[in-house]
Amino acid sequence: MKPLDWNPQLADPPPPGLYCGVPFKRYLGWPYLSNSTLGQFAISPAQCRAVLDGELSFGASDAMLMGSATGALWVEDLTLQEAGIVVFSGASRRGKAWEAFVADNPGRIHVLAKHEAAALGMDKALRASIEAEALKAGCLPEVSLVWDCPETGLRCKGRVDLLDLERQLEIDLKTTRDHRRKSFAKSIADYRYHWQREHYRQGLEVLTGLQDWNHYFIAVRNEPVHSVAVYPVAFAALEAARHELLGAMWRFRECCLADHWPADLTEQSPIDLPGWAYKQGGRV
């Protein structure tokens, strides 16, 4: 299956397929299961339901704003203006001046000058990275996926930063405070980035019939001096994610069928110290 260029005549939400050029806000409106929804579900089914119902929302963090701006510049090769990102000259996202700026720029992504400066610095570092640029060459940016999970039957969605069908290559750009291997591996576990890779792997296999996809993280440091690390995703991480993700998807399906979204965690197994505590002789 080849990606389709998005146009307003296509069904919305669309049937299973790969779609290029879908506006991000339109993608967000598709009522299909995403990795971010599963992340909320992992915290608690009740929180997931509150987010889906619009009762709970989260403002964009500094890291998210820097990530959006960097993705527009490097992944999509757009200017900030072309990406609908506007820069506020003030020092913080509060106060009457900020509120007036937001009101005067509806439907835009509103960032501060510090976010712009960081994004420009990260874009420069990424373009200077021979390895990152080689991986990016020939890739399609921001490809939206829609597929039916073969295990649970749930209709799913995902949005791949960079995709190359010929090389069976899926790339995720991450901005981070610390791109070094040990610290970034911790971020992968903490933020369940490996779930996202497995979620997209499933979708790509279903839609293309191709297996053995190559998944990469490109991690760029979001503080000066901006620098880049490129990491292929270990098979063991995907295998761990497969078990965890499918378990969450089955529980999500059960909550949907029963229309019951509990807030309490019902895990009954004994709780233990983290591994690092034992390495320090059990002292925490």
> Token digits for 229?
């690390």
- pLDDT over 50 at 280, yes or no: yes
- pLDDT over 70 at 128, yes or no: yes
pLDDT score for 57: 83
> Please, which pLDDT band fits residue 4 given cuts at 50, 70 and 90?
confident
Stretch 4-20: mean pLDDT, rounded? 87
**Length of the chain counted residue by residue:** 284
Stretch 190-198: mean pLDDT, rounded? 95
pLDDT tens digit sequence for 251-262: 999 999 999 999
Q: What share of the chain is helix, strand, coil (3-state, %, to 5)?
A: 45, 20, 35
Tokens 């090769």 sit on residue: 77
Q: How far apart are CA 70 and CA 79, in angstroms?
A: 10
Which of the residue ranges 57-61, 117-121, 186-190 would you say has the lowest mean pLDDT? 57-61
Report the C-alpha dihedral over residues 164, 167, 170, 176, rounded to 10 degrees.
-100
Stretch 269-283: mean pLDDT, rounded? 75
- pLDDT over 60 at 284, yes or no: no
- pLDDT over 80 at 170, yes or no: yes
- pLDDT over 90 at 276, yes or no: no
**100 contacts: CB under 8 Å, gap ≥ 6:** none
- Distances in Å between the alpha carbon of 18 and those of 167, 187, 203, 208, 268? 16, 28, 9, 9, 41
pLDDT score for 99: 95
- For 52, left (φ over 0), alpha (ψ -120 to 50), or beta? alpha
- pLDDT over 90 at 7, yes or no: no
Tokens 């110290």 sit on residue: 273
Nearest Cα neighbor of 19 from 10, 197, 75 is 10
Stretch 221-230: mean pLDDT, rounded? 96
Q: How far apart are CA 224 and CA 231, in angstroms?
A: 21
Q: How far apart are CA 260 and CA 246, in angstroms?
A: 19
> Please, which pLDDT band fits residue 5 given cuts at 50, 70 and 90?
confident
- pLDDT over 60 at 278, yes or no: yes
Q: Domain segments of the chain: what residues?
A: 21-58+129-265
Stretch 160-166: mean pLDDT, rounded? 97
Nearest Cα neighbor of 265 from 41, 113, 18, 10 is 41
Percent of the residues in the chain that have a pLDDT greater than 90, as a whole number: 84
Name the residue with higher pLDDT: 193 or 278: 193
Could you count the other beta carbons within 10 Å of the beta carbon of residue 211? 9
> Token digits for 248?
């969450």
pTM: 0.91
> Please, which pLDDT band fits residue 21 given cuts at 50, 70 and 90?
very high
CATH code: domain 21-58+129-265 is 3.90.320.10
Concatenating the DSSP letter of every residue in 131-199 gives HHHHHHTTPEEEEEEEEE-TTT--EEEEEEEEEETTTTEEEEEEEES--SHHHHHHHHHHTTHHHHHHH
Average pLDDT, the chain: 93
> Please, which pLDDT band fits residue 8 given cuts at 50, 70 and 90?
confident
> Please, which pLDDT band fits residue 274 given cuts at 50, 70 and 90?
confident
Stretch 77-91: mean pLDDT, rounded? 95
Contact 247, 152 (CB under 8 A): no
- pLDDT over 60 at 89, yes or no: yes
pLDDT score for 219: 98
- Distances in Å between the alpha carbon of 129 and those of 126, 138, 169, 197, 225? 5, 16, 18, 23, 14
